[in-house]
């Protein structure tokens, strides 16, 4: 993975990539492909749809969100980015780090805010 990756949500991707509404996993993948014209690697989260990755090195993939009963999305982006960074710091490959981030964000959004300190 490139040392300088861009991580954006769907709304930010729409603005930066100049694409229509990113509300599907395919749309997130398209936006990620467009963003590597400006950044070495791009990660586009699409909320309950999942996340897409594209790097200038040719690596590209998308993974569906883990289905959960959403209680609150507050903090999901921070949880995702933190878990992704922690995975990379542990030496995980990009896809494994994104899978861990996807799982961490799913757990967070399915947990009532008052109970989140326990997770």
Name the catalytic one among 23, 37, 57, 78.
78
Q: Are strands 41-45 and 60-64 parallel, antiparallel or unpaired?
A: unpaired
- Catalytic: 23? no
* 8 Å CB contact between 42 and 50: no
Look up residue 6 and give its two tokens. Answer: 């861009």
* 8 Å CB contact between 25 and 3: no
Look up residue 63 and give its two tokens. Answer: 């993974």
Q: Which residues are catalytic?
A: 78
């Amino acid at each position: 993975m490139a040392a300088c990756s861009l991580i954006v949500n769907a709304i930010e991707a729409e603005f930066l990539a100049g694409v229509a509404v990113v509300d599907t996993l395919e749309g997130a993948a398209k936006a990620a492909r467009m963003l590597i014209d400006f950044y070495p690697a791009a990660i586009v989260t699409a909320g309950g749809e999942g996340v897409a990755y594209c790097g200038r090195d040719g690596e590209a993939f998308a993974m569906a969100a883990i289905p959960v009963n959403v209680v609150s999305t507050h903090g999901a982006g921070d949880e995702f980015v933190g878990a992704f960074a922690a995975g990379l710091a542990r030496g995980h490959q990009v896809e494994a780090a994104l899978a861990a981030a996807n799982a961490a964000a799913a757990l967070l959004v399915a947990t009532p805010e008052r109970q989140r300190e326990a997770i």
